[in-house]
């Protein structure tokens, strides 16, 4: 199976984008002080990689509210069900882990929703940053709460002054 990649500098740090021919597989937040982990058999760039970079750039500049790039994340069927639900949260809205669990008919699965989001291989496009605590507060994010806050800010959700202002979707 052939993999394609590229690196996108962004307002939240460099993003390593990894895809197969027809679907995006991963977006990885790159540590500031570490070299990118590039497999020697990966090929730099493809049409899908270019589309992903263009859409992410438009998103960060406030000109894109819905991604159209095809995704095929690796995960369990249950994780994929959670990620599909997370993808239905509209731009500029947030919802709680409990809401996601309820929407997939697993009301007691709040922690499983959190674990699935922590393992989300395609952050931003699978917008796990839009999932917050039931109290309305920012809680865990694999990329760090500062990135989560910046992503929500891109979508017009300001968190610095009043972290409890969130209106759940």
Which residues are designated catalytic?
128
The set of residues, in sequence order, having a beta carbon less than 8 Å from that of 83 and lying 6+ positions away, is 73, 75, 116, 120, 122, 126, 128
Quote the Cα angle for 106-134-61, to 5°.
100
């Amino acid at each position: 199976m052939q993999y394609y990649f590229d690196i996108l500098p962004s307002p939240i740090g460099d993003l390593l984008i990894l895809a197969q021919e027809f679907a995006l597989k991963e977006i990885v937040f790159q540590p500031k002080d570490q070299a990118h982990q590039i497999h020697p058999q990966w090929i730099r760039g493809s049409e899908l990689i270019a589309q992903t970079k263009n859409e992410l750039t438009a998103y960060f500049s406030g000109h894109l509210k819905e991604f159209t790039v095809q995704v095929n994340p690796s995960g369990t069927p249950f994780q994929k069900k959670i990620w599909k639900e997370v993808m239905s949260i509209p731009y500029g809205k947030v919802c709680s882990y409990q809401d996601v669990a309820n929407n997939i008919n697993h009301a007691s699965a709040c922690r499983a929703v959190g674990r699935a989001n922590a393992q989300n291989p395609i952050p931003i496009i699978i917008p796990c940053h839009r999932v917050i605590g039931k109290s309305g507060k920012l809680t865990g994010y694999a990329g760090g709460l500062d990135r989560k806050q910046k992503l929500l800010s891109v979508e017009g959700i300001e968190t610095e002054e009043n972290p409890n202002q969130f209106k759940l979707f």
